[in-house]
Amino acid sequence: MTQSIESIQQKASTWLNSSVVDNQTKATIRQWMETDTKELTEAFYSDLEFGTGGLRGVMGVGTMRMNRYTVGMATQGLANYLKTQFSGDIHVAIAHDSRNNSPFFTQTAAQVLSANGIHVHLFSELRPTPLLSYAVRHLKAHAGIVITASHNPKEYNGYKVYWNDGAQVLPPNDKGIIAEVRKISSPDQVNFTGAAERIHAIGPEVEEAYQRDVSGLISAPEAIQRANDVSIVYTALHGAGITMVPKMLQNLGFANVTLVEEQAIPDGNFSTVQSPNPEEREALSMALSLADRIQADLVLGTDPDADRVGLAIRDDRGQLMLLNGNQAACLLVYYQLKQWRSANRLNGGQYIAKTIVTTDLLSRMAADFNVECYETLTGFKYIAEVIREKEGKAVFIAGGEESYGYSAGEFVRDKDAVLSSVLFCEIAAWCKDNGTTMFEMLLEIYAKYGLFHEYLLSLTMKGLDGLERIQQMMAELRTTPPLHLGGAPVVEIRDVQNDTVTDLTSGKIKKLHLPSSNVLQFILEDGSKISARPSGTEPKIKFYFSLRTSFDHQDNYHTIAAHMQTRIDAICEALKLK
């Protein structure tokens, strides 16, 4: 993995000798070569590649950073690959979020694509990622690009590629794009000279069509009208959600939506938060404080590109409870299943989907409703792959992943925080109209299927050294796996990378039948599950904990949850994670 300083200097020299790299960038590289070998190594030790979320990295100089040249090289490779896959006129739609340099990178990509004879369709301003997914299919484009780093800190930006089905690229297309990008060894191989006649504005008709399709998913419009005063606080966290979420809620009849005004302004510096990640309580602190002041029923917060949404609801003590992604997914899917069954729409031809690190409570729920549940690798693009494969054969009701990404219906092929926000508000209105609450619905789910207590621990390890440490941790878990965790024996080990399931009781090994991915899962005797997985989009290794126990309405949820969290803390200590 570690490259010699000579090879790194050689890679950097390619940029120094380039006729298109600007003088300021060259001056920075020369300074590093003379005085800062560590910074030079971090910037040039490799190339950014497409992971589970596409191209993503810190903005700055170098092949490992997001800048005009890496975006240009990636786009040139994409253009070359598109020409091998399609004939005639090729069309690509592009959207961007509020991050610093996102408009600039959007224009860079548009210039390179148009210079290569490809028609480009651009939104006039920032728009949510799910709208780009929708636009690709609506415009019958061959591909799409979103310039975003999702919920990463402000120093990051990224470049997500979508295929003609509106989903993020999968094998073999992702590998094909990477292969073409790798052929671009110098910025001089990029055609940056755009053709204005091939760059087109996307009109309002795309967004209007999306809004109609979202409205068509509403199961209980009459409940919304009767309980339209349900009190909602929404924060866009300085991102693209502000362009669509408030308007959608207003159009559907929600009359009591309060915005966190300080975070309604698009801002690539995310000046009011440490990180614009709705998975983190700190990011929603202003929204939670406002909700307590006005006694709102629920809080919604979308990340910068509005594909993830955080949700807080009132619990049985009247306090705001920030749900994790598993809990929110369960509410959304359970509500959809109940409404479909109530409307006699379940006939055996429907399904839900989740990822392997998302709660197994969804699988139990699906079995109860006699609906198929498909399990995929981590990343919503794999759920989108199922939707594509089942299109015309079975109907996707809803699904999601624990990282706060959910969707319903088949018209968007990615996680959709705009649609999810609308559905969560519908659930709140339906509950109010029926004399109950979202928290009571969650307890109803636990009473039916068991209480699953989930927790995510992410360990950040930046740079080349961090990547090597993450690889070492995964290697050690494979060679010396834990045999007991949290007072319970490990009875099964699932190694997705090696496609094996090892029964520790019998010693038998069988196939897992999933595509290879660097994921390990340890199954305990009581059915609890602990998963380890390096992130594909951030310099992190993630540990997913899912403990299960029985529950009935006489139990105190908070007491049980606290006890189970204590067990998780003990497991973390046993694995030396804290």
Q: Catalytic positions, please?
A: 150
Could you give phi then psi for residue 165, rounded to 5 degrees? -90, 0
Alpha-carbon torsion (139, 140, 141, 145), positive or negative: positive
Q: CB-based contacts of 183: which residues, under 8 Å, 6+ apart?
A: 77, 80, 189
- Angle between helix axes 37-44 and 463-479 (nearest 10 degrees) is 60
The number of C-alpha atoms within 13 Å of 534 and in the hemisphere containing its C-beta is 19
Could you give phi then psi for residue 574, rounded to 5 degrees? -65, -35
Q: CA-CA distances (angstroms) from residue 481 to 187, 484, 503?
A: 45, 9, 13
Alpha-carbon torsion (285, 287, 289, 292), positive or negative: negative
Beta sheet of 395-401, edge-to-edge order: 372-376, 350-355, 395-401, 405-408
- 3-class secondary structure for 38-99? HHHHHHHCCCCCCECCEEEEEECCCCCCECHHHHHHHHHHHHHHHHHHCCCCCEEEEEECCC
Query: What DSSP designation does 359 have?
Result: -
User: Is residue 165 classed as helix, strand or coil in its secondary structure?
Assistant: coil
Helix (H) or strand (E) holding 382: helix 380-390
Give the Cα separation of 39 and 60 in Å (integer): 11
Q: CB-based contacts of 555: which residues, under 8 Å, 6+ apart?
A: none
| Cβ-count burial 84-107 (b if 16+ within 10 Å, e if not) | eeeeeebbbbbbbbbbbbbbebbb
- 3-class secondary structure for 209-262? HHHHHHHCCCCCHHHHHHCCCCCEEEECCCCHHHHCHHHHHHHCCCCCEEECHH
- Among 66, 48, 250, smallest CA distance to 147 is for 66
| Cβ-count burial 288-323 (b if 16+ within 10 Å, e if not) | bebbeeeebbbbbbbbbbbbbbbbbbbbeeeebbbb
